[in-house]
Structure 1
């Protein structure tokens, strides 16, 4: 009788604990909550992946990204093609994590008090990014498989392997972790003379879910290979430095945990089996390593992923391995790993433990309502998501201007969601976003795309990139191909619209000059007014390749001296630079692109490079060969000019001509006086000179950029003055935030007093100078 009571009490304890933990992870993961399309950088690639899955594009061939056909599990973006499939898979994530973690807790190695603390710490841990949920699945599966021999262990570990295979189609970084962890679980099975099922179960689930998502089975291997291509270039291309103190604190906490893990496995009598010790260590190290890479390569708020992984690892160790005394040591270490994320969130987003807990409670009602609707009336759940998506698309696509283009279209700036929201026939290149085209294989994929018959009819284009990269690094090596196969025909808020030519320009690239150089050595740029491409060939050493795998290689910088005296440094991605990009003239704006792509390189607004220098961060001698080669390739400006003649280009040239009088007399100075699509930015307060000798009239265009007063812009207005000596010829103040008539570009024509040869154009602040993004749109002298 007592034995039956114990069994019942253990069952009740297991069920109640599992329900509580599943509830915690359910509210944090929100498996039935899918977000509508949005317009920022991350929302754009998420929307592009959802669109690709809906349209049946081939992941691995048409799309090369670390997200797959089930990306919605990770991104939480609405995907109309398979909403119920994604919902079921998403529901399985918190359920599996809750049940597997409860199973590990119920092994009774940690005392009851410790287990209560473990559950409480899970509840307050700030799981901000979704990575931690997906990465935990293969970790818990392997821990269940290696830590015990019962039927429950095997059922939980194999089902975890199945789920790991499925979620790998959402976030590919789960795939290598799953391979390592489940390999350890299979080795444990072999040691115990059991059939190893974990990797087989994962592989089968991966393939079945891939085909079930609408993909062809022939794309399975291409998908894996393309995802590896993207993953292999991530560390060197996407890394950004962060807070060194945080990194030191994380490494210290991780080393403390590893020391605790070693102590337990070496000294605890339960861990006499050497093979088991090694396998347990492999699982923990794999989990910590993938978490470290996910968190600290791109060291911003991504670092919370690494802290979350450490917290889960420490709490799992406390639950399953540490025993009565050491479990509390592990819990103290887990508490220490929870604190840094809250410090980061407090500094960046004003979030605290109190606000996070309050939000969890507030969200509970909404999430349970969703669960009720999904269970009772799933068609209503789907209809609500579709209505929200339709409304979001209408708002986002309303002012895109892309609805009128009937052919296929691709978008280079990272706002692909605008084309999708507009209902355009979006036809993406494989890498989707420009900043992910960061190694030779990915560049080759995009080059083949634009050279082939599948190239889109239209290309929305604007220079500029992320992380301080050179503005011409946006698909930089493909610019000669864009010049050859596309011509500018229009401009919309997100960039130029380039139309495919009937007949491409041939033999655009002329002679190439190669220069042998070295790191930190200044190299003169060949004197030439024609467009000039530059390719930088840097050779990594073996240690550099190892650094790239384990963490990240030293950062690389390109410093350019321009003919106007400006010296600007840019982030350089070695493999992108190896393929080349347009160095000179500097193309900062869409207006610059129109001029250079049509061979009109003689305008004063276009900066020409005079010298370049490649520099690297500390330790580069170990990572890269000091000797480098730089190739300068001249493009045929005459061919570009002869092949580019249409109404839009003529208008753009007239606009450039209208800015020449200002740019001839005033030197550009970042960031307050630069060329912009509207003309030239003259951030108030600023005074510019204008030569008008012999002229009788001057017409001026001016205004405030829309960003000064829209979408959070808080300008209180600015004034525009024209002076002839002490005489004020015009004083016009604009306040577009409050006055609708002040929002469009303004124009004025003034009579020039006799004998006046020089005018002063001033922009003056309103009450404050913040957001006073004033511009002069053109000067027309008669």
Structure 2
């Protein structure tokens, strides 16, 4: 009897030590997770960095989001970027701490629900090797933590979770519209479902609804935003992003992603009858399925290395949400059995990134020396984009816009930034967005000067097809007064004139074309614009919705029979593209011919190297084979 008592005490003591070791390990793991999360971003030049700088300038110059400034990021977008210029540094720190707190709470809740050693090892691999919980994809993180707290409330009826997901649903709209719109709709569905199905305390639901509405009133009244225009224009940007910005990913990457999606969907379909028996399970898997779809679109519309990692980082956590919150033991067991297979498939894509001590040291140093590093980064980058002094003297304190995209010129040179609503030309994906920019340049609030630069043509776009109406505005209302060079970019300075020239527009050809047909275009010295009703077929529309559209290209033939092929942005095709002016160096360099562009503006769009023929190239399955094209002359 005494031996048995000693054995029990020893076992209890060992179990206590194991628990203590596990808790210490969890604390160390959490510390590793917190430290590598960067607090602030330093200023840099470049195409992608320019929209981050533009967000800061929009707040500095009190531009109204939705009207003066059209983008998917809102007035609180700086919380996602961590760019602290002209912003409240403490709000960035609090937002980062909020993300960290949610991540740590998820790890803690996961740890409590992993029972075997194997489960804990798999969970550890997810958390450490795929550190999604503190990654740079803040919009997807907000979506994930929203779902986590919704599901947590569904199972545990915690008022804290109710308030957290209510706050996320509201604030996310002002951080980034696309995720905010989705979360606002899901919030409404969630509150209605909780009230109708009597889940939790109805006063909890009312408290969440009150917080959601109260925060909206507070933010809408304190921030510079026209919420209706902001949402409407953001929906336009998000919709046509599909057509303008898609990149086909590497086949292997896409194949692995599809296999992962099929794996998860197969588990859900296998248990479909069980899911449909309970409303809570239907609610859970409706949200899971929608999140899976949005993750896939997020990662593979623009399937480059800056986007598809978000899918692979988040997918294991989507599976963990099912494991943690489904009421079915069978689904819970089967989904966890699939996790090792999913992790193996992800490992083939090479998106895992363990955080090492040198990362932590760098992040701590960044936070402690931010003010010094910020000034050093500013000075270093200013040397790269310092405008010619004669140009700076000419502009002075008058208002300036940068065209097509390098907003860093305005930021680092301290210019009085007065942008068109869609501040980077490649983002004016539709006629509506392009017309908004044109209207700005033709309005009383038009910038006094416009600095045009070469370079930054993305994804094989033709120079004047992005923001196509803006070139007309420059011809109508501005004149060239200076040129210059920065690094590899050549510059043209335009000055606004007192009067406005009128555009004369005449249709000279209306005909029907087929895919693959070569068409000789009308010959004219004037600007020739072409519009078309070419559209996606039914299979093409479905492909666009589920994945991305099929590429549509236009082959241009010049007077020397040289052929160049460029990507068509379908929504812009409907509003007209300048078709007869060859303004590129060649088909390989994909850059503007500065001399040709200078000649174009110096001669009111007349004359210059001519395009004489066109041919549409695209797989016939995804677009209609016959379509209408019209040609218009534009002259001043």
Interval of TM-score (by shorter of Structure 1 and Structure 2):
0.7 to 0.9
> How much does 1:367 deviate?
3.2
Q: 2:61 aligns with which of 55, 58, 62?
A: 55
Q: 2:602 aligns with which of 598, 605, 614?
A: 598
The answer to whether residue 416 in structure 2 is matched with residue 445 in structure 1 is no
Residue equivalent to 1:338: 346
> How much does 1:215 deviate?
2.1
Residue equivalent to 2:337: 329
> How much does 1:275 deviate?
0.6
Q: 2:44 aligns with which of 27, 38, 41?
A: 38
Residues 557, 572 of structure 1: 8 Å contact kept = yes
Distance in 1 between residues matched to 2:111 and 2:193, nearest whole Å = 20
Residue equivalent to 2:562: 566
Would the alpha carbon gap of residues 627 and 262 (structure 1) be closer, same or farther in structure 2, given more than 3 Å must change? Answer: closer
Residues 184, 283 of structure 1: 8 Å contact kept = no
The answer to whether residue 427 in structure 2 is matched with residue 428 in structure 1 is no
Residue equivalent to 2:224: 215
Residues 480, 493 of structure 2: 8 Å contact kept = yes
Distance in 2 between residues matched to 1:468 and 1:242, nearest whole Å = 16
Q: SS of the residue aligned with 1:300?
A: coil
Q: SS of the residue aligned with 2:512?
A: strand
Residue equivalent to 2:399: 408
After the TM superposition, which of the residue ranges 244-253 and 63-72 deviates more from structure 2?
Answer: 244-253
> How much does 1:180 deviate?
5.3
After the TM superposition, which of the residue ranges 321-330 and 293-302 deviates more from structure 2?
Answer: 321-330
Distance in 1 between residues matched to 2:343 and 2:502, nearest whole Å = 64
Distance in 2 between residues matched to 1:201 and 1:128, nearest whole Å = 25
CA root-mean-square deviation: 3.4
Distance in 2 between residues matched to 1:22 and 1:173, nearest whole Å = 30
Q: SS of the residue aligned with 2:450?
A: strand
Distance in 2 between residues matched to 1:369 and 1:398, nearest whole Å = 28
Q: 2:299 aligns with which of 270, 289, 295?
A: 295
Give the gaps of 5 or more residues in structure 1.
346-352, 374-380, 640-782
Residue equivalent to 1:307: 312
Would the alpha carbon gap of residues 265 and 388 (structure 1) be closer, same or farther in structure 2, given more than 3 Å must change? Answer: farther
Q: SS of the residue aligned with 1:35?
A: coil
Q: SS of the residue aligned with 1:442?
A: helix
Distance in 2 between residues matched to 1:413 and 1:44, nearest whole Å = 11
Residue equivalent to 1:610: 612
> How much does 1:128 deviate?
11
> How much does 1:10 deviate?
13
Would the alpha carbon gap of residues 547 and 13 (structure 1) be closer, same or farther in structure 2, given more than 3 Å must change? Answer: farther
Q: 1:252 aligns with which of 245, 256, 259?
A: 259
> How much does 1:290 deviate?
1.1
Distance in 2 between residues matched to 1:619 and 1:110, nearest whole Å = 51
> How much does 1:459 deviate?
1.2
Q: How many residues align?
A: 598
The answer to whether residue 174 in structure 2 is matched with residue 169 in structure 1 is yes
Distance in 2 between residues matched to 1:327 and 1:626, nearest whole Å = 44
Q: SS of the residue aligned with 2:579?
A: strand
Distance in 2 between residues matched to 1:183 and 1:14, nearest whole Å = 40
Report Cα offsets for 1:517-571 as digits up to 9, x if no partner: 2333222211122332222332445665454333222221111111101011110
Would the alpha carbon gap of residues 585 and 110 (structure 1) be closer, same or farther in structure 2, given more than 3 Å must change? Answer: same
Distance in 2 between residues matched to 1:260 and 1:132, nearest whole Å = 27
Distance in 2 between residues matched to 1:51 and 1:582, nearest whole Å = 31
The answer to whether residue 95 in structure 2 is matched with residue 89 in structure 1 is yes
Residue equivalent to 1:467: 459
Distance in 2 between residues matched to 1:400 and 1:122, nearest whole Å = 50
TM-score (norm 2): 0.84
Distance in 2 between residues matched to 1:266 and 1:14, nearest whole Å = 38
> How much does 1:437 deviate?
0.4
Residue equivalent to 1:642: none
Would the alpha carbon gap of residues 450 and 460 (structure 1) be closer, same or farther in structure 2, given more than 3 Å must change? Answer: same
Give the structure with the higher percent strand.
1
Q: SS of the residue aligned with 1:310?
A: helix
Residue equivalent to 1:676: none
Residue equivalent to 2:521: 525
> How much does 1:470 deviate?
1.4
Q: Which has the larger radius of gyration?
A: 1
Q: SS of the residue aligned with 1:233?
A: helix
Distance in 2 between residues matched to 1:272 and 1:21, nearest whole Å = 38
Residue equivalent to 1:536: 532
Give the gaps of 5 or more residues in structure 2.
1-8, 585-592
TM-score (norm 1): 0.70
The answer to whether residue 241 in structure 2 is matched with residue 234 in structure 1 is yes
Residues 527, 610 of structure 1: 8 Å contact kept = yes
Distance in 1 between residues matched to 2:44 and 2:557, nearest whole Å = 39
Would the alpha carbon gap of residues 474 and 631 (structure 1) be closer, same or farther in structure 2, given more than 3 Å must change? Answer: same
Q: SS of the residue aligned with 2:553?
A: strand
> How much does 1:393 deviate?
5.4
Residues 29, 133 of structure 1: 8 Å contact kept = no
Distance in 2 between residues matched to 1:412 and 1:332, nearest whole Å = 49
Would the alpha carbon gap of residues 531 and 368 (structure 1) be closer, same or farther in structure 2, given more than 3 Å must change? Answer: closer
Distance in 1 between residues matched to 2:433 and 2:162, nearest whole Å = 36
> How much does 1:412 deviate?
1.2
Residue equivalent to 1:490: 482
Q: SS of the residue aligned with 1:632?
A: strand
Distance in 1 between residues matched to 2:573 and 2:64, nearest whole Å = 29
